[in-house]
Every structure is written in C-alpha cells, then in structure tokens.
Chains A and B, each alone.
Chain A
C-alpha cells in the first residue's frame, strides 16, 4: 500500500510538472504570435511598427479602389472617417464582401513609405457588421 502511494505520488508529480512546463512554454511562446491591431490614425502618425506583421483596419474610402491593368493587384485606401487615411496594396482575389464604405481589416506589413502591403484582406458579414476593432470609430 505504501509503495502504491509512493508510485501514485510520483506519477502525479510527473504529470503536473510536465503539463505545467508545456503550459508555461505556451505562455512564453504566445508573445511571438501576437498580431497587434492599429487604427488609421496610429498608422498615419507612425505609431505602428514598420516591416512587422501587424493588423490594421478602417473603412474603404469611396472611389479609392484601383485595380491594375493586367494583374490581380489592387490599391485602396482605408480611413477612420475623420482625417487619417492610408493606402493598402494587395495582390490576389478580394473577398466577395469587400466594397467601398465597408469596415475592413487587413493583415500584412507597413512599409517605410507609409503603404500597407496586405497579405490578407478581411471583409466579412453583411453591411451592418462592423469589426469589433473598428467600433470605436463608429461611436
């Protein structure tokens, strides 16, 4: 019985140590996977870091969507509907819900030239939907 208890004790210790190490590892590792989100004024004022993967968002400026002549690349501007606006470049198919006036988030890198090179463009849900990150802009 005593020996049983000892074995049990060590199994529990082992399991607890193993799991806590993994979870601790996750807690530290997660720092590297954080994508920060920036609003248009932060992008314009240079508060967003350059050349790092970040997320940003705003509303698509009317008449700002420009497709290139032959490729799939496209340019458009995102605004906070006040006085900050920045340019986004993207190559690829745009999501079907992407359109002017729509609240949109983009993921990619901000260049030193102030142009946001997007790898992902997200415009989902219907016309009433505003991404939670952009809600401060509509209030």
Chain B
C-alpha cells in the first residue's frame, strides 16, 4: 500500500509541476497577480507532495519492504538504520526522486522568498522551474519508478547497499550535489524570465546572485565530500581521478564560478548582460550533461550508476529540450539587450572578464576530454578509448595558475579604472611569495619541483594581497567584500594544498610478516598483529601498525558476504601538515601481507579550502546592503 501511495504522490507532484508551469507562464504573461499566486501555491503543493512521496520511500526502506524492487536491490535487514535511509539515494531511481524533490524545494523557496521581484519575472521564473521539474518527473514516473513492485517473487532479504556506499560522507554527498546541480535551474529560469521580460538589469542580477551563490556553495561542498570519500573509502589515497563522473560535477562548478563573477559585473556595472544570461543557461545545461553522463552509463566510471541505454536517451532528450529552449530564446532576444561598458582600462570589469574567459576555456577543455571517448566510439563504430588524466592536467593546471595570478589582483582593483600605482606593491608581494616558495621545498623536503613551486608562490601571492586588503580596509568592511576575500583565500589554500600534495607525497608498497616494518620518509611502520573481527554485516581482518613507536593505526580489509564483496578500509591519521595513510592488502601464502604505506602532505588543505569557499559564498550574499538595495529595487518596479 505504502509504495503505491508513494507512486501516486509522485504522479500528483507531476501534475502539480504542470500546474506551476502553466499558471506561472500565464501569470507572467498577463501580469496577473491571481495566476502567479496560484503558481506559488502549486509550488508549495508540489513540494509537500514530493516530500511525502520521498518519506514513503524511506518508510519502505525502514520497513524492509523487499517487495519493492528498488528496496530489494539496495537494502538488507542487517543494514544499520541510517544506511537504510541513505540507501534511498544509493542508486538511480531513489536518487532521482531526491533530485525531483530538490527541484521542488528550490521552486518552493523561489516562490516564497522572491516575492519582492516584479510579478512578470516571478511568474516566468516559476513557470520555467515548473517546466523543468515537469520533465524530470515525467522521466521518474515512466522510466525510473523507485516504487516498482517485485511480486510475486518477493525475496526474503535484500541484496544490500553497495558496501562502498555504506559510509558517512556518502550519506550527505549526493543531497549536497543535487542541491547544487538543481539550484542552477533557478539561474536558468531567471535567465529565461529576464529574456522574456527584457528586464535584464542590475536589479535582475541582484535578485539572482544569492541563488547562484547558494547553489554553488552546496555544489562545492558536494564535490569536496565526494573527493574526500574517494580518498579514504577507495583505499588508494587518490583524491581526484579526472573520472568522467567527477568531471560531470566539475563542469557546472566551473561554469557556476564564472556565473558568480559575471553576475557581479552585471549587477555593479551593468556589464556583460548577454554573456551573463547565456552563462546562466549554460551552467544549468552542464548540470544536465552531468546527470546524463552519470545516469546513462555511457562512460566508464568508478561511480556511474547501473547502465541503461534507454534512460540515457530520455535524459539526452530532456537536456536537448531544456537547453535548446534556453538557447533559442537567447538567440531571439539577446540582440535587444544593451550592456553598458564604458571603461576598458585596468579595472575590475577587465579582471572579471579575464576570469570568465579562463574559466570558460577550462570548461571547454574539460568537456572536450570528457565527451571525446563518446564521439570517438560513435565515429569509429564502437572503438573504445579513454582520455588519460595527463590530458586534463596539461590544460587545467596552467590555466588555473594564470587564473590565480589575476585573482591575486582582485581586491586591489577598482571598478572603472585602477591607477597603476596601486599595483606596484603587488610586485613586492609577488617577489616575496616567490622567495618563500623557492626556499620552502628545500627546508621541508630537500626536493624541488617547478610546477609545485609556481603553485605555492601564486597561492601565497593570493593570500598576501587579500589579507593585506582586508587589513587595509578593516574600518569600512562589508560582507560582500569580506566574502569575496575569504572565498579567494579558500581558493589559495586549496591551490597550495593541490600543489604540495601532488608532488610531496610518498608511497611504498611492501610485503610484511608480523613483526616486520617498513620505512617511509624517515618513519617506521611496524606490523604488530592481524585479527579477525565479526561485525553486523561484514567480516574484517584488522591489522595493527605502530608508527614511529608512538602512533597506532588499524587498517582493515572487510568482506561483505551478502554481495560477496571485498573492501579496504585504510587507516588514516592526520599529523602535523600530513596524513599517514596505511592500506592493508591481500594475505599472501607464507603469512605475509601486502601493504601500501603513504604519506600525503597538506592533502587536507584541498578540502579545507573548498569548504572555506562554500562558506564564503553564503557569507557574501548575506550582505545587508543587498536587502537594502533589493527593497529599493522593489519600490522602483511596482510589483504589478
């Protein structure tokens, strides 16, 4: 009964989305307060209905209702209750229900929190959001129904959640990602509304900015969590593999970062209007490209969902319809927009332009590398290839380094034009940063890498200029500026982390008997014992290592009998500036064990930096000046 009700509610949510679509567009078109009000109510209805449907799926999981195919495939009686809940989004169907719920949540929030924007824009934004979720839900109820029954051959027990997904970070990683991906639908819809009404001005940018910041912040946290998960759960110490699915999340992230910056120029200077609205459309399109890549199984990936070609085609259809509609609208209306750009000196406008050009090129090169295997297979009639991570590094790293140089100038630059004199001090900072970056590797590690040194130097350069500007302006700080500076500091921290950990990390594989030890960068790792332990839904071999006579770590190998699956649980111990990382491999014939021992310098800075960026993005749009200006905008445009 419960699953049928859940399915029914999803269908109901679909009709509500249709209602939001029709009433929103009609209300926007007719400037009708009543129709927009209806749209707002239907958005709320859609949210409540889908949330209930989602709760019912959770209930099915908690009740171990294995007559539901999706539950049987992804859960088990022995699974702890919190993993039963997270198993709801552990595979395609359930996670897509979450996806539509997130879309409904954003729609509901826009309906209620954006009541100060003009009626026609509000209506069109809701209509467009309704349109998007209408398509998603149509896909859900026809091709990916999570409530599908498995009768009459109902299994007594489920086949369990994939053990790799039985993990804390994976409980929150997908929701974070989806909030980010789908959040860009709000940017898309604002773009559509702006194009339809022609009201693409500073006020429009001001309404949109907080939404983009929030979506981007969630996406940042989601990506960082995914990288952290890969780092400790896969057991091999890697944190970014240029895997197609990782790229799928990186693409909208990069585009979203560009959008945040071009929106700043559009809001403050009325510049780059055409580009900003195009970027809003493209960013969400890249989210959809990501959904397509992950869910169609078209690419080889560690993380992709189960393979289904038909699903891929439907998602490709949604992508084509949504971005096609956005792009056609843009092509028809863009010529009516007038950007105001009066200054081409060394100005903040120019730096923001450079930011956007570089980020767009990055998106293009990453997209090329990600889609190339699909195109190749298509044109060569089935020849399989993959693009090595060297390709991505060869383009991504140099562009990011150039980007960080210009980034360092951001807090000094001014709108319109900046006197060259202001930049003079910068070169002192740059010289100092370069000097530190040159000396540091010799002090720390006795080895020297050009790439890492440039990365560290530029990271320090960004840190210094931003801290300097914050101190200089400490009397007249506002949250917008502070947020920008903190986000850039986060970027610098992540950059230094990446530069250092990529080269100053050590890895030794060995074969140890009990009592043997292995030396890695001056520390000894001694294997003390290996014990067998039995947990609720797995068996484990747990080794005890003593590191440098003081620290004890316990790496494990787990066997999950239900799926007959072996996993490694690396032991990771953060000590000052580095992680000690011990992986237990297979037992060998003569009582020895395969072991991999790694030391990773500054690896935590990568995720820490990302977290700072996310917090800063939220901080920046909490600026009180926003609310004041938004109120002023409202009085300029009367709502009707």
Q: Which residues of A contact B (CB under 8 A)?
A: 4, 7-8, 11, 15, 18-19, 22-23, 26-27, 29-30, 32-37, 53, 55, 67, 69-72, 91-97, 99, 105, 124-127, 131-133, 135
Contact assessment for A126 and B386 in the assembled complex, using a CB-CB cutoff below 8 Å? no
Contact assessment for B344 and A33 in the assembled complex, using a CB-CB cutoff below 8 Å? no
Contacts of B300 in A (CB 8 A): 105, 131-133
Q: Known pairs A33-B388, A93-B586, A96-B566; list 4 more (Cβ under 8 Å).
A: A19-B360, A36-B383, A93-B595, A132-B384
Interface residues of B in 14-69 (CB under 8 A from A): none
Interface SS of chain B: mixed
Contact assessment for B566 and A23 in the assembled complex, using a CB-CB cutoff below 8 Å? no
A96-B567 contact in complex given A30-B387, A35-B386, A37-B384, C-beta closer than 8 Å: yes
Residue in B369, B391, B566, B585 whose beta carbon sits within 8 Å of that of A97 in the complex: B566
Contacts of A94 in B (CB 8 A): 585-586, 594
CA distance A97 to B112 in the complex (A): 49
Residue in A22, A34, A105, A131 whose beta carbon sits within 8 Å of that of B365 in the complex: A22
Asked whether B533 is an interface residue with its Cβ less than 8 Å from the other chain, the reply is no
CA distance A46 to B566 in the complex (A): 34
Residue in B299, B307, B511 whose beta carbon sits within 8 Å of that of A72 in the complex: B511
- Which of B171-179, B423-431, B557-565 lies at the interface with chain A? B557-565
Asked whether B372 is an interface residue with its Cβ less than 8 Å from the other chain, the reply is yes
A99-B594 contact in complex given A26-B364, A33-B390, A35-B386, C-beta closer than 8 Å: no
A93-B583 contact in complex given A35-B385, A132-B300, C-beta closer than 8 Å: yes
Residue in B364, B385, B386, B594 whose beta carbon sits within 8 Å of that of A23 in the complex: B364
Asked whether B395 is an interface residue with its Cβ less than 8 Å from the other chain, the reply is yes
CA distance A5 to B568 in the complex (A): 62
CA distance A19 to B399 in the complex (A): 12
Contacts of A36 in B (CB 8 A): 383-385
CA distance A34 to B387 in the complex (A): 5
Asked whether B368 is an interface residue with its Cβ less than 8 Å from the other chain, the reply is yes
Contact assessment for A132 and B307 in the assembled complex, using a CB-CB cutoff below 8 Å? yes
Interface residues of B in 543-593 (CB under 8 A from A): 557, 563-568, 583, 585-586, 588-590
Asked whether B155 is an interface residue with its Cβ less than 8 Å from the other chain, the reply is no
Of A26, A32, A37, A94, most buried by chain B (CB within 10 Å of CB) is A26
Contacts of A19 in B (CB 8 A): 357, 360-361, 364
Residue in A8, A55, A93 whose beta carbon sits within 8 Å of that of B386 in the complex: A55
Q: Would you list 27 pairs from A and B whose C-beta atoms are within 8 A, ordered by A residue?
A: A4-B342, A19-B364, A26-B364, A26-B365, A30-B369, A34-B372, A34-B376, A34-B385, A34-B386, A35-B388, A37-B384, A72-B511, A92-B596, A93-B585, A93-B586, A93-B596, A94-B585, A95-B236, A96-B567, A96-B568, A99-B566, A125-B162, A126-B162, A126-B563, A127-B564, A132-B297, A135-B307
Interface SS of chain A: mixed
Asked whether B341 is an interface residue with its Cβ less than 8 Å from the other chain, the reply is yes
Of A32, A91, A125, A133, most buried by chain B (CB within 10 Å of CB) is A125
Asked whether B302 is an interface residue with its Cβ less than 8 Å from the other chain, the reply is yes
Using CB atoms, name the residue of chain B closest to A55.
Answer: B386
Using CB atoms, name the residue of chain A closest to B369.
Answer: A30
Contact assessment for A23 and B589 in the assembled complex, using a CB-CB cutoff below 8 Å? no
A93-B509 contact in complex given A22-B365, A35-B385, A99-B566, C-beta closer than 8 Å: yes
Minimum distance in angstroms from A16 CB to a CB of chain B: 10
Contact assessment for B302 and A133 in the assembled complex, using a CB-CB cutoff below 8 Å? no
Contact assessment for A26 and B384 in the assembled complex, using a CB-CB cutoff below 8 Å? no
Contact assessment for B386 and A97 in the assembled complex, using a CB-CB cutoff below 8 Å? no
Asked whether B235 is an interface residue with its Cβ less than 8 Å from the other chain, the reply is yes
Of B298, B557, B568, most buried by chain A (CB within 10 Å of CB) is B568
6 closest residue pairs by CB, A with B: A33-B391, A37-B384, A93-B585, A96-B568, A26-B365, A96-B566
CA distance A97 to B564 in the complex (A): 10
